[in-house]
């Protein structure tokens, strides 16, 4: 069964109360279904920002995209999640990841483990959250039972397996960490490489009783009649790609509104991505695409 489209915007820029509310209301006007906040130093603190987003709007859900689990103790995180879900009237979606920027851990004075250790910590966090939030004795209680919907984002096989076991929403970045780099640098996956990652996830998820919603993070939205003219300057950042290969990247939306809508329909057919997230700098440009795809 083909899922209907759902759209989220990841709000990455801090703002004062009035401006924050204005941005969130504008996202609601444009048709976004979810207002999201990342978990990076220099970005808004996730949970108070989400409470404020829910207060400023009526329809959209709110979510973390995604929490750096290395920043969090499971018991304290359970308190934040339950409180935020209650204060937002059950509109919270909880996104979790391992974190991928070592310097943020250094600045925060927190340990930076190996990739395997970070995945292990994420698994323990998910399992403890399920236990805590699922208990009728936990205080505070979340509005959604047994807990808010869980999104997990990752790329490697261990993350795919963990996502298949626990997540209601499987998030794909369309990129992977550069081996040996701890600065947060990512290498974009080609369309064919993303095919392989989605196929790996589906193998791990074969025994699920309920299929997860699949999410894709779009890195760039550019409305233009000259797709090649837009992509050429970007090639300096992806020297391993040709012009044609770059234009085929699933995480880039370059073209007319109709072309972007057609690309997302084709990617939903090919990969199963029905939940599309864009970054805040693109959220105005993407609005007409939401309108084009409304109801489909």
pLDDT reading at 199 higher than 90: yes
- Arithmetic mean of pLDDT over the chain: 95
Q: Before 21, cis peptide (omega within 30)?
A: no
Give phi and psi for 274, each to the nearest 5: -115, -20
pLDDT-derived band at 240, boundaries 50, 70, 90: confident
DSSP state of 210: S
Average pLDDT over every residue of 118-145: 97
Structure token digits, residue 33: 């279904």
What are the residues whose beta carbons fall under 8 Å from the beta carbon of 140, sequence distance 6 or more? Answer: 79, 82, 83, 86
Q: Before 140, cis peptide (omega within 30)?
A: yes
Find where tokens 């992806």 sit: 238
Find where tokens 């499971």 sit: 74
Q: Which CATH number fits domain 6-219+256-293: 3.40.50.1820, 3.40.50.20, 1.10.101.10, 3.20.20.30?
A: 3.20.20.30
What pLDDT sits at residue 268? 98
pLDDT reading at 78 higher than 90: yes
pLDDT-derived band at 84, boundaries 50, 70, 90: very high
Least Cα distance to 260 among 292, 228, 231, 234 occurs for 292
Structure token digits, residue 198: 């989605």
Confidence (pTM): 0.96
Average pLDDT over every residue of 54-63: 98
What pLDDT sits at residue 174? 84
Angle at which helix 115-133 crosses helix 74-87, to 10 degrees, equals 50
Q: Where do the domains of the chain lie?
A: 6-219+256-293
pLDDT-derived band at 42, boundaries 50, 70, 90: very high
pLDDT-derived band at 224, boundaries 50, 70, 90: very high
pLDDT-derived band at 270, boundaries 50, 70, 90: very high
What pLDDT sits at residue 180? 67
Structure token digits, residue 36: 């999201």
């Amino acid at each position: 069964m083909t899922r209907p489209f759902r759209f989220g915007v990841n709000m990455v820029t801090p703002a004062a109360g009035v401006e924050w509310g204005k941005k969130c209301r504008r996202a609601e006007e444009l048709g976004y279904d979810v207002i999201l906040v990342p978990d990076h130093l220099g970005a808004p603190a996730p949970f108070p920002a989400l409470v404020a987003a829910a207060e400023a709007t009526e329809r959209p859900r709110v979510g973390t995209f995604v929490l750096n689990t290395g920043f969090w103790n499971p018991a304290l995180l359970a308190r934040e999640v339950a409180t935020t879900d209650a204060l937002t009237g059950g509109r919270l979606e909880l996104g979790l990841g391992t974190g991928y920027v070592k310097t943020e851990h250094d600045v925060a004075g927190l340990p930076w483990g190996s990739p395997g250790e970070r995945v292990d910590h994420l698994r323990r966090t998910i399992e403890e959250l399920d236990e805590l939030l699922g208990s009728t004795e936990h205080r505070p209680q979340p509005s959604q039972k047994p807990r808010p919907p869980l999104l997990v984002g990752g790329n490697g096989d261990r993350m795919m397996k963990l996502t298949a076991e626990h997540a209601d929403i499987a998030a794909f970045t369309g990129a992977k960490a550069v081996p040996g780099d701890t600065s947060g640098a990512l290498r974009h996956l080609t369309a064919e490489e993303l095919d392989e990652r989605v196929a790996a996830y589906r193998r791990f998820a074969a025994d699920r009783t309920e299929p997860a919603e699949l999410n894709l993070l779009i890195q760039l939205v550019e409305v233009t009649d000259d797709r090649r003219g837009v992509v050429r300057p970007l090639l300096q950042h992806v020297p391993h790609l040709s012009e044609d290969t770059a234009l085929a990247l699933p995480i880039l939306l370059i073209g007319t509104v109709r072309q972007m809508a057609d690309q997302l329909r084709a990617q939903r057919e090919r990969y199963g991505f029905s939940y599309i997230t864009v970054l805040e700098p693109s959220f105005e440009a993407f609005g007409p695409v939401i309108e084009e795809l409304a109801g489909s």
